[in-house]
Amino acid sequence: MSSIDKELIVSKFQIVDEKIKILKEISRTSAREAVSDPIKRAAAERLLQVAIEAVIDIGCHIISALKLKTPSTYAEIAEILASKRIISDDLQQKIASMIRFRNLLVHGYTKVDPERLADLLERRLNDFDLFKEEITEWLKRGGQIR
C-alpha cells in the first residue's frame, strides 16, 4: 500500500485556507452585495473553484494511496471516502454538492446562479473547515480504512 503524503495534504489545506479567508473577506458585509459586483463575483467564483479543486486533489490522493476504487466522477470521490469512513456521510453530501458546483463553475460558467453563489458564500464555507477537521482526525487515527 502506498503511503499517505501528509505534506501534500497540508499544502492543499493551506491553499483551501487561503482561498476561504479571501472569500470570507469578499463577502464580509453581504454575500448578496458581493455577487452583484462583477469583480467580486468573478473573484469569488475562481476562489471557490480553486478551493474545491484542492479538496478534490486531497480526495484523489487518499484514494490513490490506499488503492481504493477509482472514481468515475469527481463527485464520486466523496462517496468513496465516506464508504471507507474517512469522512462522515453528512460531509459526503456536502462535498459532493460542492464538487457539482465546481463542475458548474468550470463547464457551465454562463449559468452560475448568483443566488446560489451568495448562498454558498453565506452558509457553506464552513464545509471546507469540516472537511479539513475530518481528514485531520482520520490521519490522527492512523489513516486506516475501516
Look at residues 61, 44, 51, 40 and name the one whose alpha carbon lies nearest to residue 17. Answer: 51
User: Nine-digit cell at 40?
Assistant: 467580486
Q: For the domain 6-140, what is the CATH code?
A: 1.20.120.580
Angle between helices 38-65 and 89-107 (to 10 degrees): 130
Please write the tens of the pLDDT for every residue from 23-72.
999 988 888 888 899 999 999 999 999 999 999 999 999 999 999 999 99
Q: State the Cα–Cα distance between residues 145 and 138, nearest whole angstrom.
A: 9
Note the pLDDT of residue 146: 64
pTM, 2 dp = 0.93
Residue 1 pLDDT > 50, yes or no? no
Q: State the Cα–Cα distance between residues 92 and 79, nearest whole angstrom.
A: 6
Please state, rounded to an integer, the average pLDDT across all residues of the chain: 92
